[in-house]
Structure 1
Amino acid sequence: MTKRCLQYLFVCMLLMCLWNIKINEISDQTLEVHRIRSNTKEKSRREEGQSGWKFKTSFPVDLVYTWVNGSDPAQKKRLARFRKTYFRTNLLTATRAINLSFSRFADTGGLRYSLRSVEKCANWLRHVFIVTNGQVPKWLNLRNPRVTVVNHKEIFDNPDDLPTFSSPAIEHNIYKIRGLSDRFIYMNDDVFFGRKVSLEDFYTKQKGTKVYLENPTSTQCSRKCKIVMIKNDVCDDVCNNDHCAWDGGDCGGFPERLTPTEKNTAHLDYLTSIFYTNAVFNRAFGRRKRRYGAHGPLFIEKKVNRDMVKRFPTEVAETCRHKMRSPLDLQFGFSYLHFLMEGSNHSRRFDPRITSSSVAFLEITLNETKTRKYLNLLQKLKRKFICINDDIDYCTESRLQLRRLLLYCKNFMSQCFHTLHRSK
């Protein structure tokens, strides 16, 4: 009886050993298949130019900044030289003078803190491109494999368009950056991420691009001129002024002589170019009530951008030729968002977000009490997208007051984004 039990036990142990061997063989085969599949996927990504892609998004997304250091002595000399030439060869209205002031190109250090916010809140972005006129931030680590500085010369097709001091001209060329992902995010250096963001804050497979919009644009640029009268192939004298983009060029462009009141007009070309762009879109797609784009990140698809250039080749080329901001600019952010919604052949899917609580805009002035109040409120709101713009003339304002305000703003951003950088 004992012998039979031992035989039975021996047979059971033998069967168990054979079973374990078989299981291990199956596991090894499964593991090998998994490795083969992984290698195949990795090879496919390399073939698509996505080597090294390791972030958790369904497709690669890069980030593009435009940046200039107006405090750089060499930049100041270039700007002063251009101002002198422009004064000699053109009639310069007060608006033009504002757009060539040193304050327009002043560097307040926002890019450093914006990059910190990216590192903490949007580390899923694949690569960062910083577009400059050849300048490089002194504090930037160029050894970082995820950061590339791009010169204007690399993206402008026509060398005669350079140098340029016009942000719309530069923005219309950023999609040409070599190695840039097919979908990317564009931001100015005064835009920050206030808390964690994901791809779904910009794009979803179900609804497409999220379009962040603000208030409606004005239907009139002056008391007597309506937007629908601009760029309608009819010269309207009531629209032929600086406020109304010189009737969109219907009266032959800029007049040879300006009246004293027009010379004293300090109407910003940004708003005027919005009127002009709106008029261009009225002509192309019909009259509609259009809204301003929110001051924040802009999600861009290259194929949509190319469609827009094909649809408005003359307006885009003219914008790229402008050496400084002009009333006849095809304003980039406004035109891209509305072309996406109205005219794109490739992407008719979009998700409008009107006056979204995700976006916060703050304009800094020399009113220290208000600036401190709004900055503190901004920190409490914890919005996803933050724009901290400034409306300060660095040439004429009180230096002592200016220095005190800028030091406070710098300390605020350093503390805010340093804490953000360390928080879990």
Structure 2
Amino acid sequence: MHPLLRRPLLNLILPCLTLTLLLLTAYNLRPDRASGFLVASPPPTSGPAVCPNPDTEREILWPPRPKTKEEQLRYLLLRSSQPPPPGPRIRPVPTLPAACIDPWLASGLPCSQKAPPLPADLLWTWVNGTDPLQLSSAAAASLAAGNTPAKSRTQAASKLYRENGELLYSVRSAMASVGSWARRAHVVVGDYNLTDCAPESWRDENSTLHTFSPPETRMAQLPQWLRPLQAGGEWVDGGVQLDVVSHWEVGVREKVFNSFAIEAALGQVEGLADNFVYLNDDYFLLLPLSASSFFTRAYGLVFRFQSDLLVRGSSTSRASSTGEWAALEWSNNMLNQRFGERQRPYVIHVAKGMSLPLVEELQLSFPAQFEDTRTHVFRSNQDAYLGFLFPHFVIERHREVLLWSFIVARLGGEGDEWGEGQMEEAWRVLGGGEGEEYYKDLEVRRGERETLVEGRVKRVLGEEPKSTVYKFSSHDGYPYHLPSRAAKSFPTFPAPGHSPTGTTPPACTLEFELCLGTEGEPSVLASQVFKRVAFELPQCGDCLITALVGKSGVKGLNAFLPLPQAEPAGQEQELPEGLTPVLPLSSTWQSADFSLSTIFPHPRSSLRAFTLALLARYTYTIADTPVRFASLRTPLSSKQVLAALDKDRALAMACVNDDIVSREGDVRKVMGEWMGKRWAGRRDWERGGWW
């Protein structure tokens, strides 16, 4: 080669060699995009994997040396030493501005002050039941519980949590339906203790062996369709942030295969908004829904029931110990012990609007029952069922406040007295005739009400709740008025509006002496009369509420409330800062003290304002929304069921339940194709594919 050509060629070769060395180095020290931690060298071909450090690494691939790529899943890492979350506490519930509460609740006058929209989150519970770690853990737990063979409970757990890819499409459906007003999305997942790993070790220049033991670590299940995150990264779609939260982080410290145990800890999800929509992974939102389809400041929480399916209460359930009905009957027994016996309607399996402060109050009212449920590894016949308990707890609390307000706060007063003067005043308020003896029975008819007349909800809220019709409001009293004879279903709600006075038969007969008398004594305690009316003889309380709603006029609940003129001069009309009104927290009505001095030890504050704040706290609405429960069993029936969902354009919510009895793979394919067609658009936090 000519000497003049050597120098340019050398100048060309040297950069190429340098670039090649840099590329090889970068490859050997590449960040593994699937696992999120630095891979310094290929993993050993035998022995346990090196333990990851949850302080510096977000994810891990497990098992470390799979036979096939499909066997390896991504998991989130978290410290085992993480302390339990704070326990429940009494907190205020977001309601109307203080100046609006009296005119709205007492007289039905809408609030003219604009309040900001209620911040609201989405919350899912999800477990990948086909995860090998989940299956092996369930089998071991079943054997430890003395189930030999372990087939029955392991199969039950597998069916309940079998992974069909529903969560991805449930999230997509919710984002398409309510993403415009949702704040955050939370997915509560299962987790496992990571023990099958070895501490990291290395030798220095003197051949001394050093070992680094990272903190004890847990692996939380991770939806595989979420894109990998680097340290400090977040899953965000538009203005909605998504978080994955483990059972360990919400305080479930036993490895459980029991959805009721997981739900019992939902009040401890960190960062959850005061109002949230709770979904299982097989719940789908099919149409756009407004926040007022789930909760509002004026009408409160929105509940949906199947009124032709009633749940009895039982401490010795006749139902299977692994089924939903055992938990339903036990939970209704809990409500009976606290609020008086009655059957209550089944809660429909669809997305549910919930209040975090009231979930915490429910937990505080039944602490032992919820604590026990969180430790039940498998479903039992003594599980506290949050999804059933919550709406009925709110409804019963509101009923309790109505009766307490009239009997204790309005009539009994500070002295907790109930004698001739209180009975005469009750007789007068209830419409007893002048000069009549107050021990006679009173026939009670339903009064005309305009709370939900056509167009009024839209005028009050400024919008019509989408795909939702309000059928009953707590502003009209109590929905489950005990029928005079056995009924298979209730409630039935009369159409709002006017009807000719006196043409309807009596709704009930108030046995005044039985319900409100002193039982032969000159006087008794007002709080004792309240307990009799509210819990011991619930038909008395139901009829009294019906009567007082009628005496309140066409709107409002004024007849229940302490009178404004009864407030002492110089009394503050607003409640002390930091005071959250609440009635006793107890699991039985017998153990609770309802005396005014116990509940309201603030003589310089307004008792009327206190009572109104209680009513506002438990405000609710019962609504109708087009919903359907779809059961997938065989490939043919699944096609028919899903086609029916598509055909009904009015359907707003659906639960698509895995009840597969044959050809599981074919049913999963049918379902996957239906979900993929219905919600084809990817979200920003996805990496593609549900697995």
Measured in 2, the distance between the counterparts of 1:408 and 1:419 equals 19
Query: What displacement does 1:215 show?
Result: 3.6
TM-score, length basis structure 2: 0.43
Q: Tell me, in whole angstroms, the C-alpha distance in 2 between the residues paired with 1:214 and 1:103.
A: 25
Q: Does 1:149 align with 2:244?
A: yes
Q: Cα deviations across residues 152-185 of structure 1 (Å, max 9, x unaligned)?
A: 11111x63xx111111111121121111111111
Alignment correspondent of 1:17: none
Matching of residue 404 in structure 1 with residue 458 in structure 2:
no
Q: What is the aligned partner in structure 1 of residue 182 from structure 2?
A: 125
Offset at residue 268 of structure 1 (A): 4.5
Q: What SS does the corresponding residue of 2:304 show, helix, strand or coil? A: strand
Give distance in 2, aligned partners of 1:81 and 1:420: 38
Q: Which position in structure 1 is the counterpart of 2:141?
A: 82
Alignment match, 2:222: 136
User: 1:335: which partner in 2?
Assistant: 389
1:391 and 2:483 aligned: no
3-state SS in 2 of match to 1:296:
coil
Q: Shift in Å at residue 379 of structure 1?
A: 1.1
Residue in 2 aligned with 1:176? 268
Query: Given residue 376 of structure 1, which amino acid in structure 2 is its aligned partner?
Result: A
The code of the aligned residue for 2:331 comes to T
Corresponding residue SS for 1:243: coil
Q: Residue 30 of structure 1 corresponds to which residue in structure 2?
A: none
CA distance in 1, matches of 2:636, 2:666: 12
Contact kept? 1:99, 1:324, Cα under 8 Å: no
Q: Residue 633 of structure 2 aligns with which residue? A: 365
Unaligned 5+ segments in structure 2 are 1-114, 191-219, 399-581, 583-613, 684-691
Residue from 265, 272, 285 that aligns with 1:193: 285
1:59 Cα offset (Å): 2.2
What secondary structure sits across from 1:387 in the alignment? Answer: strand
SS where residue 124 of structure 2 aligns?
Answer: strand
Partner of 1:243: 318
User: Which segment is superposed worse, 287-296 or 338-347?
Assistant: 338-347
> How big is the shift at 1:357?
3.8
Identity, % of aligned positions: 26
Distance 2:632 2:396 in 1: 34
- Report the CA distance between 1:301 and its aligned residue: 0.9
**What TM-score comes out, normalization by structure 1 length?**
0.68
CA contact (8 A) 2:277 2:354 kept: yes
Residue 140 of structure 2: SS of its match in structure 1?
helix
Closer/same/farther in 2, CA of residues 336 and 93 from structure 1, 3 Å limit: farther
Q: CA contact under 8 A between 2:169 and 2:675: conserved in structure 1?
A: yes
**Alignment partners' CA distance in 1, 2:291 and 2:379:** 32
> Structure 1 residues 57 and 190, CA, compared in 2 at 3 Å: closer, same or farther?
farther
Displacement of 1:119 in angstroms is 2.2
Moved over 4 A (4+): 90-94, 216-220
Describe the SS at the equivalent of 2:235: coil
Partner Cα distance (2:658, 2:304) in 1:
21
Matched positions, count = 313
Q: Deviations over 1:93-120 (max 9, x none)?
A: 96x56544x2222111001111111221
Question: Structure 1 pair 219/116, CA: closer, same or farther in 2 (3 Å)?
Answer: closer
Q: Distance in 2 between matches of 1:175 and 1:306?
A: 6
The answer to whether the 8 A contact 2:631-2:658 is kept is yes
Letter in 1 for 2:225: W
Look up the match of 1:47.
Answer: none
Shift of the alpha carbon at 1:91? 11
CA contact (8 A) 1:117 1:420 kept: no
- Note the residue ranges of structure 1 that are not aligned, 5 or more in a row: 1-55, 221-226, 232-238, 245-265
Root mean square deviation of aligned Cα: 2.6
What is the CA-CA distance between 1:419 and the residue it aligns to? Answer: 7.4
**CA deviation profile, 1:331-351 (whole Å, cap 9, x unmatched):** 110001100111264532111
What's the counterpart of residue 3 of structure 1? none
Shift of 1:64: 0.9
Tell me the secondary structure at the aligned position of residue 284 of structure 2.
strand
Question: What's the CA shift for 1:371?
Answer: 2.2
